[in-house]
Amino acid sequence: MIKKAVEAAIIEQIRREEHSSRLYLSMAIWCETNGFPGAAAFLYRQTEEERFHQLRFIHYVNDRGGKATLMALEQPLNDYTSILDIFRKVMEHEEYVSASINQLYEVTLIEKDYTTGNFIQWFITEQIEEESTMKNILDKISLVGDDKGGMFHIDKELAAMTAAAPAPGASATV
């Protein structure tokens, strides 16, 4: 049986994951309508990944005897100034998500819910990978600056990364 404090913290994380999915969806739409199909594909994939995270948390709460619930969400920002602006915001958001996952893990330790703490470890590892990926992308975008040829190649690289990536959740059970 899941402890109420842990359940409440996970439900808040469910809200954050859903917000993340919608945020990346708004960014993907901007990219798609501003000539960055590779970045759009990459961010659409991120949208799916965040949705998978949300579902993982939902199933976990329900399987442990709790009841997952959904909350109201704010509309995500949907107007950006550039691809650099988008990936700066992506990086900031991933750092925010990492901090929230770490806070969730701390709740499991305080509540001595080691089973849930073990479950959260997967998300901690996932966030390390996400931050690394986003930092690499942001570094490349920053490096090319306003060079359109460089941005063209980065966009193609993002498309290739998306095509090569396994579907969200392919290596983990929901």
Segment 111-125 mean pLDDT:
98
- Total domains, the chain: 1
Give the gyration radius of the chain's Cα atoms: 17
User: Looking at the domain assignment, is residue 171 inside a domain?
Assistant: no
Residue 169 lies in a domain: no
170 belongs to a structural domain: no
- Cβ-Cβ contacts under 8 Å for 62 (sequence gap 6 or more): 68
Domain-located, residue 111: yes
Is-contact 41 25, C-beta < 8 A? no
pLDDT attached to residue 171: 57
Domain assignment of residue 140, given as a range? 4-164
Over residues 141-151, the pLDDT tens digits come to: 999 998 999 99
Q: Looking at the domain assignment, is residue 173 inside a domain?
A: no
The CATH number of the domain holding residue 154 is 1.20.1260.10
State percent of the chain over pLDDT 90: 88
Please write the tens of the pLDDT for every residue from 22-81. Answer: 999 999 999 999 999 999 999 999 999 999 999 999 999 999 999 999 999 999 988 999
